[in-house]
């Protein structure tokens, strides 16, 4: 099966970018031009990749319907209402749940795909999962913006009569398409708990402690590292990308402080998806006991992994490589399994909300 795929690329200078690959492997030229404007604006590599994934979804759905978008626009015609509604419907669901089995490369009529024979014998019901309303709204906005960009780009090459016809048709169609962007409710979130209660926080710290019988990990290094991950997230409110971007040189050796710095497109970072700081650089103060735990981890545990010595990142895997974002997610999946009684679904970002709630409580006490 060949479909449109959002691919990450890394240049020699360390810069990360994304391209939309068409069936056969070549990039979609128009999508490359569109993504270039976000690159010029200095948008984060992960943001550009998220936009590229939306474009992949758009092209997959149109290919499934037998629509060649560029060819259609070259004829001075825009997408029809049913075709736009198809895109709006697809934007509601996880891309992994959408079937693209009929988007195949041309094959000889004498060749029969064995998968299709099996499918005739057994009907497979595919379950689909809806994305959040905010994600759906974001997808529709990027789709509309790209279609508007493409209509203007192709329209500039057309004769005047076709150009005007395409402009009018695309303006009316995109107005109706944008009307389908759902409103993201914010009122319901006010007052809702997003972090752990003090009791749940204490329970989590008991489970994750390296000496706990409930600790889900076996290796001593992994226990120590994962405990430190949870403690640092709770103590600082930093994001997982900021934690994974921390380097040993960011730690103050004289005071219990650390610096959270932006290092976008760092060439020394071997990770394909580079964790990064989302906001401005800042300095964070820790309790002395937590700072001692960080240095103990470095001297007594991290140093024993010889391969880790060539990497500056604080948090590393068993093989010494800097830990990935997916590994952080996996840690919290394992913690959720070990703490099924928690009311809130445990993720790394819940640690950030928990810190914020503790900070707000302390601020109120101090007036």
User: What pLDDT is stored for residue 3 in this prediction?
Assistant: 84
In the predicted model, what is the mean pLDDT of the chain?
A: 88
The three-class DSSP label of residue 114 is: helix
Say what percent of the chain tops pLDDT 90.
70
The residue among 208 and 273 whose pLDDT is bigger is 208
- Name the pLDDT band for 102 (thresholds 50, 70, 90): very low
Q: What is the SS3 assignment for 341?
A: coil
Residues 6+ apart with CB under 8 A from 259: 250, 252, 281, 282, 283, 284
Q: Give me the pLDDT at residue 108, please.
A: 46
Residues 231 and 306 in one domain: yes
DSSP conformation letters of 277-318? --S--EEEE--HHHHHHHHHHHHHTGGG-GGGGG--BSSB-T
Cβ atoms of 339 and 204 within 8 Å: the answer is yes
Tens-place pLDDT, residues 317-333: 999 999 999 999 999 99
Alpha-helix runs per DSSP H in 106-255: 114-121, 133-155, 160-178, 198-208, 220-236, 240-245
pLDDT in tens, 175-212: 999 999 998 876 555 555 689 999 999 999 999 999 99
Position 184 in a domain: no
- Angstrom distances, CA of residue 48 to CA of 53, 218, 274: 9, 38, 13
Say if residue 51 is in the same domain as residue 120: yes
> So what's the pLDDT on residue 1?
46
- Residue 189: the pLDDT is 56
pLDDT of residue 107: 44
**Residue-number span of the structural domain to which 48 is assigned:** 5-178
Residue 313 resides in a domain: yes
The answer to whether position 310 is within a domain reads: yes
The residue from 145, 178, 211 where one domain ends is 178
What's the CA gap between 285 and 264, in Å, rounded? Answer: 23
Cα–Cα distance for residue pair 58/320, rounded to 1 Å? 39
Domain match, 207 and 65 both: no
Rounded distance, CA 41 to CA 48, Å? 11
Which residues share a beta bridge with 316?
Answer: 322
227 and 266 share one domain: yes
**Alpha-carbon distance 292 to 108, whole Å?**
67
Confidence class for position 105, pLDDT limits 50, 70, 90: very low
Considering its fold, how many domains does the chain have in total?
2
CA atoms within 13 A of residue 12's CA, in its CB half-sphere:
0
Mean pLDDT, residues 62-69 taken together: 94
């Amino acid at each position: 099966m060949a479909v449109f795929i959002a691919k990450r690329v890394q240049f020699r200078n360390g810069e990360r970018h994304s391209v939309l690959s068409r069936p056969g492997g070549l990039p979609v030229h128009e999508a490359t031009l569109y993504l270039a404007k976000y690159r010029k604006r200095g948008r984060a590599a992960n943001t550009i990749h998220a936009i590229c994934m939306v474009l992949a979804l758009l092209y997959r759905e149109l290919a499934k319907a037998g629509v060649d978008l560029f060819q259609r626009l070259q004829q001075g015609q825009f997408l029809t209402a049913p075709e736009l509604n198809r895109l709006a419907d697809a934007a509601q669901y996880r891309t992994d749940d959408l079937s693209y089995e009929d988007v195949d490369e041309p094959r000889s009529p004498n060749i029969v795909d064995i998968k299709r024979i099996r499918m005739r014998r057994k009907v497979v019901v595919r379950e689909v999962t809806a994305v959040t309303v905010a994600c759906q709204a974001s997808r529709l906005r990027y789709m509309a913006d790209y279609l508007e960009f493409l209509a203007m780009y192709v329209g500039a090459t057309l004769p005047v009569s076709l150009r005007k016809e395409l402009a009018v048709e695309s303006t009316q169609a995109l107005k109706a398409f944008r009307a389908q962007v759902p409103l993201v409710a914010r009122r319901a979130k006010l007052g809702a708990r997003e972090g752990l209660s003090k009791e749940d926080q204490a329970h989590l710290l008991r489970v994750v402690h390296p000496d706990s019988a409930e600790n889900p990990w076996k290796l001593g290094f992994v226990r120590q590292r994962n405990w430190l991950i949870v403690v640092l997230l709770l103590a600082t409110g930093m994001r997982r990308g900021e934690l994974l971007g921390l380097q040993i040189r960011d730690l103050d050796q004289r005071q219990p402080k650390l610096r959270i710095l932006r290092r976008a497109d760092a060439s020394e970072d071997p990770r394909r998806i580079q964790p990064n700081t989302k906001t401005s650089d800042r300095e964070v103060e820790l309790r002395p006991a937590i700072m001692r735990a960080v240095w103990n981890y470095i001297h007594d545990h991290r140093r024993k992994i010889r391969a880790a010595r060539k990497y500056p990142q604080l948090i590393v895997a068993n093989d010494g490589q800097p830990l990935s974002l997916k590994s952080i997610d996996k840690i919290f999946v394992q913690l959720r399994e070990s703490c099924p009684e928690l009311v809130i679904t445990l993720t790394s970002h819940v640690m950030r909300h928990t810190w914020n709630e503790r900070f707000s409580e302390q601020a109120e006490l101090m007036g």
